[in-house]
Amino acid sequence: MTTTTVAYAAHTPKAPLERTTIERRDVGEFDVLIDIRFAGICHSDIHQVDEGWDEGIFPMVPGHEIAGIVSAVGTGVTKFRAGDRVGVGCMVDSCRTCDNCRAGNEQYCTGSGMVGTYNDTGRDGLPTHGGYAQTIVVDENYVVRIPEGLSLDVAAPLLCAGITVYSPLRHWGAGPGKKVAILGLGGLGHMAVKIAHALGAEVTVLSQSLRKKDDGLKLGADHYHATSDPRTFEELDGTFDVILSTVSAPLDFGAYLSLLKTDGALVNVGLPEEPISLDLFGIVTGRKAIAGSLIGGIAETQEMLDFCAGHGLGAEIEVIRADQVNEAYRRVLRSDVRYRFVIDTATI
């Protein structure tokens, strides 16, 4: 048995998204039925609709930055009840028994692998569909609570953009006494600036131009430089403990490694569609590291939401109607977003 909900879907790779209907499973014993209010648009949605990473599952309903209200719960649910303000991020299941799942790193599940919120196959064998829709049914263990102090629209992007930068900033020790550079001031990058600043680090934005400098400083950056200006690389040589790259396109990482101190780390969360090449002298000289990070675990996502609420941090958003989603995709591709589009799902 299923129930029908309205959604926005791409029916084939690269196709514009259109209004459609999809089926959601009935609320099972441990499931939460969520009335979705807002869904953020992540650049990963575009990579997947365009099959830039891999073959996709179509029709595809993107959306893994979901904020809404619980409207029903299964008989075995203990963590949530109707009326609760909740969020769902990039995963809706995992094996729950491997070492990583037990350690709260479900995103690195080595058992059956994490189940993506959309463009994936659930443990029931059915395709998963994401948040550009009015309802979703999710196991309670993959649902998080949105604290009272955060409104649902500015909270939605935290479910991917927020956790994707919070997790590595914490892991690589961004905090007092640390010089942290955020590369790319888009959806992820602007949350990285806010969170790194709130963690007490000295924050520098490295953006393609100085076009967004005033915004960057308001978001909490101490310094702002354009990567199109060669003087940036002369002035900042050997400066940073950590560089967090949120860039969606292939970059010359070699040039950025020179900006790290000895033992510094270039931590990458961006997922460009093409590989990069690298001159390994850049890491050997100065014992530098290149690392990566994928979203964050469920408990850590809750920790991030509580941290953001405690520091009054939400995303900077432009709320759009569902029929504006294709134009929003084009604007994200032009780096013309300040700083996250969020769909008001009532308009679907």
Alpha-carbon torsion (142, 152, 162, 120), positive or negative: positive
Which residues in the 68-97 window bind ligand NAP by CB under 6 A?
none
Determine contact, residues 300/278, Cβ cutoff 8 Å. no
Contact map string, positions 79 to 108, toward Zn ion, x by CB under 5 A: ---------------xx--x--x-------
101 binds, among Zn ion, ligand NAP, none (CB under 5 to 8 A by kind): Zn ion
DSSP 114: P
* Tokens coding 6: 């309205």
DSSP single-letter state for residue 252: -
* 186 interacts with ligand NAP by CB under 6 A: yes
Supply the minimum distance, in Å, between the C-beta of residue 100 and Zn ion.
6
CB of 225 to ligand NAP, least distance (A): 11
Please name the residues in contact with 187: beta carbons below 8 A apart, sequence gap of 6 or more: 40, 41, 42, 43, 157, 161, 315, 332, 337, 339, 340
Contact flag: residue 47 with ligand NAP (CB under 6 A): yes
Nearer residue to Zn ion within complex by CB, 95 or 294: 95
Gap between the Cα atoms of 3 and 79, Å rounded: 23
Q: Which does 43 bind (CB under 5 to 8 A by kind): ligand NAP, Zn ion, none?
A: ligand NAP
Contact between 195 and 313 (Cβ < 8 Å)? yes
Q: Which residues on neighbouring strands pair with residue 341, listed in sequence order?
A: 318
Output phi, psi for 155, to 5 deg: -80, -30
48 lines the binding site for ligand NAP (CB under 6 A): no
**Interaction pattern, residues 150-189, with Zn ion; x per rule: CB under 5 A:** ----------x-----------------------------
| In contact, 120 and 170? CB cutoff 8 Å | no
Comparing CB distances to ligand NAP, the nearer of 5 and 207 is 207
Site string for ligand NAP, 141-180 (x = CB under 6 A): -------------------xx--x----------------
By beta-carbon distance, which residue lies closest to ligand NAP?
186
Residue of 243, 33, 46 whose CA lies nearest to 138:
33
Q: Which of 42, 46, 40 is nearest to 156 (CA)?
A: 40
Q: How far is the CB of 2 from Zn ion (least distance, A)?
A: 26
Give least dist CB 17 to ligand NAP, A. Answer: 17
**Burial class (CB within 10 angstroms; exposed 0-12, middle 13-18, buried 19+) of 40:** buried
Tokens of 206: 């490295």
Confirm or reject binding of residue 243 to ligand NAP (CB under 6 A): no
Does position 109 interact with Zn ion (CB under 5 A)? The reply is yes
Binding mask 259-298 for ligand NAP (x = CB under 6 A): ----------xxxx--------------------xxx---
The residues binding Zn ion (CB under 5 A) are 42, 44, 94-95, 98, 101, 109, 111, 160
The residue ranges that bind ligand NAP (CB under 6 A) are 42-44, 47, 160-161, 164, 184-189, 207-208, 246-249, 251, 269-272, 293-295, 332, 335, 337
